[in-house]
């Protein structure tokens, strides 16, 4: 019941947005969008609420953004949910953040299934509490056969950690002679990353006005278009996303060449 009400409320995009959406969909949209969801704490502070209230509100933005990205025809949406550096935060905040995947998925999993969304995760699950691991595992299993948009959570993810792990894998293969030095190429390195099965992001979005990568997908973002917005993550909405995609479609991605007046 509650779920139905929510669905009605947030999927009803105003007509002007619908018109803009239709125009955007006529041009190529980014295949893979990665988002650094930042600003939950400041959102809460502005309202004199505890930081966790911002994280809870941010969870609703995850749902809204997922549905809208799906509507846009984006194929992979990677969301930075918890970094390897976020363990430095107070335990109470970490505990709350670790409960969010469970809450998000128990509330919205049916809707994700309905929308043919496939849930995946990058990052190390080793340090995650078992309830967090189980919630993500359950969602991955329930959506394993979906072939629509991939919703990829970066959870306990750190790009440098990922690179170190990839180096270890490749070093082991070299020492065991299963690969040769000449076979170490950009492709084999990409293949050793947690994103081996995904295309690199075309577009990186960071909310909250911070202009840094915070250890996120350093290898994969080599040629991504970057978009930074002042909007705090809980306030990020369909309009914010659409404006960024409209701007993206005006850019010229040359990849070092002189060609490409239009986005490819």
Which residues of this chain interact with ligand IPE, rule CB under 6 A? 36-42, 80-83, 86, 97, 208, 210, 212, 214
The answer to whether residue 86 is catalytic is: yes
Is the Cβ of residue 38 or residue 57 nearer to Mg ion in the bound state?
38
What are the beta bridge partners of residue 78? 34, 152
Shortest CB 148 distance to Mg ion, Å: 30
Nearest C-alpha neighbor of 86 from the set 56, 57, 123, 61: 123
209 φψ region: left (φ > 0), alpha (ψ -120 to 50), beta (else) = left
- Exactly one of 86, 146, 215, 237 is catalytic; name it: 86
Closest CA to 138 of 184, 105, 183: 105
CB of 98 to ligand IPE, least distance (A): 10
Q: Does 229 bind Mg ion (CB under 5 A)?
A: no
Collapsed DSSP state (helix, strand, coil) of residue 158: coil
Of the residues 3, 38, 95, 146, only one is catalytic, namely 38
Nearer to ligand IPE, 39 or 201 (CB): 39
Residue 200 interacting with Mg ion (CB under 5 A): no
3-state secondary structure of 17: helix
State how far the Cα of 112 lies from the Cα of 104, in Å rounded to an integer. 11
Partners of 226 in the β-ladder:
204
DSSP conformational letter for 251: S
Q: How far apart are CA 11 and CA 70, in angstroms?
A: 12
Find out whether 130 is annotated in a ligand binding site.
no
Query: Which of ligand IPE, Mg ion, none is residue 153 near (CB under 5 to 8 Å by kind)?
Result: none
Instruction: State the residue number with the nearest CB to ligand IPE.
Output: 41
Annotated binding-site residue? 97: no
* Binding test (CB under 5 A) with Mg ion, winner from 34, 38, 79, 238: 38
- Which segment (37-45, 75-83, 100-108, 215-223) binds Mg ion by CB under 5 A? 37-45
Is position 225 an interface residue for Mg ion (rule: CB under 5 A)? no
Q: What is the chain's percent helix, strand, coil content, to nearest 5? A: 50, 15, 35
- Residue 214 binding result from Mg ion, ligand IPE, none, given CB thresholds of 5 to 8 Å by partner type: ligand IPE
Is 87 annotated for ligand binding? yes
Residue 166's H or E segment, with its range, is helix 159-175
Which of the residues are catalytic? 38, 86
> Which stretches of the chain bind Mg ion, using CB under 5 A?
38
């Amino acid at each position: 019941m509650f779920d139905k009400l929510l669905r009605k409320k947030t999927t009803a995009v105003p007509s002007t947005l619908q018109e803009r959406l239709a125009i955007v969909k006529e041009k190529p949209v980014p295949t893979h969008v990665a988002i650094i969801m930042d600003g939950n704490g400041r959102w809460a502070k502005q309202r004199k609420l505890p930081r966790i209230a911002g994280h809870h509100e941010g969870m609703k933005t995850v749902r809204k953004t997922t549905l809208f990205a799906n509507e846009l025809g984006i194929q992979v949406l990677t969301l930075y949910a918890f970094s390897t550096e976020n363990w430095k935060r107070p335990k109470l905040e970490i505990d709350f953040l670790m409960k969010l995947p469970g809450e998000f998925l128990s509330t919205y999993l049916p809707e994700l299934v309905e929308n043919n969304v496939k849930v995946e995760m990058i990052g190390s699950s080793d340090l995650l509490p078992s309830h967090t691991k189980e919630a993500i595992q359950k969602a991955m299993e329930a959506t394993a056969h979906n072939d629509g948009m991939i919703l990829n959570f970066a959870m306990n993810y750190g790009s440098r950690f990922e690179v170190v792990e990839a180096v270890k894998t490749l070093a082991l293969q070299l020492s065991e002679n299963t690969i040769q030095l000449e076979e170490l190429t950009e492709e084999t390195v990409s293949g050793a990353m947690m994103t081996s099965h995904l295309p690199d992001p075309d577009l990186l979005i960071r909310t909250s006005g911070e202009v840094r990568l915070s250890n996120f997908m350093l290898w994969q973002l080599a040629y991504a278009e970057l978009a930074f917005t002042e909007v705090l993550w809980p306030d990020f909405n369909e309009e914010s996303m659409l404006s960024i995609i409209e701007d993206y479609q005006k850019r010229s991605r040359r990849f070092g060449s002189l060609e490409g007046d239009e986005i490819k």
